[in-house]
Amino acid sequence: MDFANELRIATLAVHRASILTNSVQSTIQNKGNSLEKDEFGDPVTIADFASQAVIINAIHHYFPNDTFVGEEDESMLRDSPEILERVWVLIQDLKEDGDEVPRLESKEDVLRVIGLGGKVETGKGRVWMLDPIDGTKAFLSGTQYAVSLALIVDGEQKVGVLGCPNIKAGSSEVREELIDRDGLGVLLSAVKGQGSFQRSMSLDGLGEPKKMEMLKDVGSVNELRYVNSMASSYISRPVYLAVKKACRLKTDEEVDLWSMHVKYAALTIGGVDAMVRIPPKKSYHSYVWDHAGGQLIYQEIGGKLTDLDGGKFDFGVGRKLEKNWGLVAAPPSVHGKLLEVVKHVLAENPIPE
C-alpha cells in the first residue's frame, strides 16, 4: 500500500491547522504578548482545540473507520461554553478554499470530532496520532512550534506530516529566533519506505514537494552537534551534560528548541546531528503524539532512533510509549557508539525510579 491518499489528506489537514494556529500566534504577538485569558480565553487552549477539530474533521471525512489519539478531549469544552464559543469563532474564521473537506457546521460538530481523539487502544488497525500544537511555551513566545499528524498501522508509523509555520523554507538550520516572516514556514512529510519531503507553506497553498537528502555520516561521537531543550523538566540535565562531556566534543555548541517535533525537524533539515533524552525518573514515559510522525520523517532520511536500551519505538501500547524509556537519535555511523557512551554514563549516574 502506497498511502498516497492518506498523505494527501494529512497534508491538507496539517496545512489548514498551520494557517489557523499561525493566525492565533500572530494575534498574540501583535498585542505584544499582552493578550489576556479573559479577552480571548486561553489563546493556546483555543488554538489547540480548533486545530485538533480541523485535523480530525478532514481525516474522518475520508477515512471514517480510522481512529484517533489526540492530546485534547472535549470535556473542557462541554463544561465551558465560553471557550467553546471562541473555538467555534476561530474555526469559522478559517479560510478554506475548495470543497475537499466539508466545513464543521455547528458547535456540536466541533465537540463530536474533538471527542474522536480519545482512543486508548493503539496496537491494532489504523490509528491517527496528532499534536495540534507541539511546543506551547514557544508558541506563546512567538517562536518555533509544530502541528503533527501520523498514521499508525498495527503499532508502526506509516505516514508522518509536520507543519512548522515558523521555519524558513530552504533553511539549512533551525533556531528559535530564525522566524519565517514572509511565508508560512515548511511542511515536512514522509511515507515509510519512500523518503522524506519538504514543501513551503503559504496562505494560498503549498509549494512543490522536494525530496530531502539522506544524512551524511559522522565520523566520531566527538563531532556531533546536539539539539535539546535544557529548560525542560522532562530530562535529567546533569546526566545529559555528563554524556556530552564523555563524548569529548570538539565544540560544545548546542541548539536549544522547546518543541519535540521541531527538534525532529532540526535533525532532518540540518545544522544538528544528535539528540539524547534522558528522563529524570525511570517511571517517565513520553506521550505518543510527541514523537509519532517526526520520528518517521527523520528515519526516512537515514536517521537512527532507539530508546536508551537500544529498543525500537513501539506506538502500539496506548497513549504513552510505555515500552520505551528515553531516546538516542543520531546518524547510523555513530549511533551505536553514542548509545554505548550513554549506557556507561547511566551506569555511573543511575536514574531514580
Question: What's the Cα-to-Cα distance from 103 to each of 113, 134, 148, rounded to whole Å?
Answer: 12, 24, 21
Cα–Cα dist 146/162, whole Å: 6
Is 71 annotated for ligand binding? yes
Q: Is 136 in the active site?
A: yes
Cα–Cα dist 325/322, whole Å: 8
Cα–Cα dist 43/51, whole Å: 12
Is 152 annotated for ligand binding? no
Is 208 annotated for ligand binding? no
Could you please report the per-residue DSSP string of 315-346? --SSSB-TT--SEEEE-HHHHHHHHHHHHHHH
Catalytically annotated residue among 136, 143, 268, 306? 136
How many CA within 13 A on the CB side of residue 164?
Answer: 36
Gyration radius from the chain CA atoms: 20
Look up residue 236 and give its three cell numbers: 535529567
Q: Is 93 in the active site?
A: no
Task: Report the candidate in 130, 172, 133 with the shortest Cα–Cα distance to residue 267.
Answer: 172
Cα–Cα dist 67/70, whole Å: 10
186-191 and 226-228 as β-strands: parallel, antiparallel, unpaired? unpaired
For residues 337, 298, 159 and 71, what is the CA-based torsion angle, rounded to 10 degrees?
A: 90
* Cβ atoms 239, 346 nearer than 8 A: yes
For CA atoms 129, 290, 10, 314, give the dihedral sign.
negative
Is 314 annotated for ligand binding? no
Cα–Cα dist 239/351, whole Å: 9
**Residue holding cell 551505536?**
336
Is 133 annotated for ligand binding? yes
Cα–Cα dist 214/212, whole Å: 7
3 state DSSP class of 176: coil
226-228 and 254-256 as β-strands: parallel, antiparallel, unpaired? parallel
Catalytically annotated residue among 11, 21, 45, 48? 48
Q: Which residues are annotated as a binding site?
A: 71, 131, 133-134, 290
* Residues that are catalytic: 48, 136
Q: Which residues are annotated as a binding site for Mg(2+)?
A: 71, 131, 133-134, 290
